[in-house]
Homo-oligomer: A and B are copies of this chain.
């Protein structure tokens, strides 16, 4: 083709957001109920079209979040998750969607925005299992987002962000267990976390109210990249061959 005498076709660009949080020790994803066709009434990820040609992609993602879920969270860190651009994924025509991922603690119950009949938290496992059905290819996007979150817990200090400003080691363990969907030995977890230098540092008066011995409080340490990493228990399917 000759680049000089030809105008490239324009494409509709959308952003979709996978917003994950932890509620009652379970991983939840933010979903809206679509207010317009296509898929009116179905559950979907928040998102929408770029508003004008010069709009920054991340800015568009933040704008959609504010519009559709009334979440004006300036500080929410969005990271690129993937591109979903199969022709035919959207009945309105060729829509290429850039997906962003945010993982954050204790996000508020959202309120419905103008575009969406409702925006609510739903359990991620219900989406992954197919118990909840999503519009478009959004289940696939959630799958990718959850897998990304699981991987990030291994190598980054993300888990501390799910806890309050101070937390106990057991609190932190709950985060790993919820996102990974496993249960961990508290004693080995305790030392594993301590040995990963810079991950957590002691904080404040070392007490807390429940039954049992009071736990020490910690806060997030300076390290954002964990070394050594926290490794997920090996899934049986990935496990070592039966014999040799």
Contact = CB atoms under 8 A, between A and B. Distances in A.
A210 to B, nearest CB: 30
Interface in A195-244: 197-198, 225, 227, 234, 238-241, 244
Copy count, this protein chain: 2
Given A3-B36, A83-B57, A52 B9 contact: yes
Given A67-B1, A197-B244, A93 B8 contact: no
A93 B227 CA distance: 42
A65 B139 CA distance: 32
A101 to B, nearest CB: 13
A193 to B, nearest CB: 15
A94 to B, nearest CB: 5
Interface string A15-53: 000000000000000000000100000000000111111
Contacts of A48: 1, 3
Contacts of A87: 54-56
Contact of A197 (B14, B83, B241): B241
Given A10-B12, A13-B13, A227-B238, 14 more contacts: A1-B67, A2-B114, A3-B115, A8-B12, A9-B53, A10-B13, A11-B53, A53-B94, A54-B87, A55-B87, A56-B87, A57-B96, A198-B241, A225-B238
Interface of A: 1-4, 8-14, 36, 48-57, 67, 80, 82-83, 85-87, 93-94, 96, 98, 114-115, 197-198, 225, 227, 234, 238-241, 244
27 contacts: A1-B48, A1-B67, A3-B36, A3-B115, A8-B13, A8-B14, A8-B50, A9-B49, A9-B53, A10-B10, A10-B13, A10-B53, A11-B11, A11-B12, A11-B50, A53-B94, A54-B87, A56-B85, A56-B86, A80-B82, A83-B83, A96-B98, A197-B241, A197-B244, A198-B241, A227-B238, A227-B240
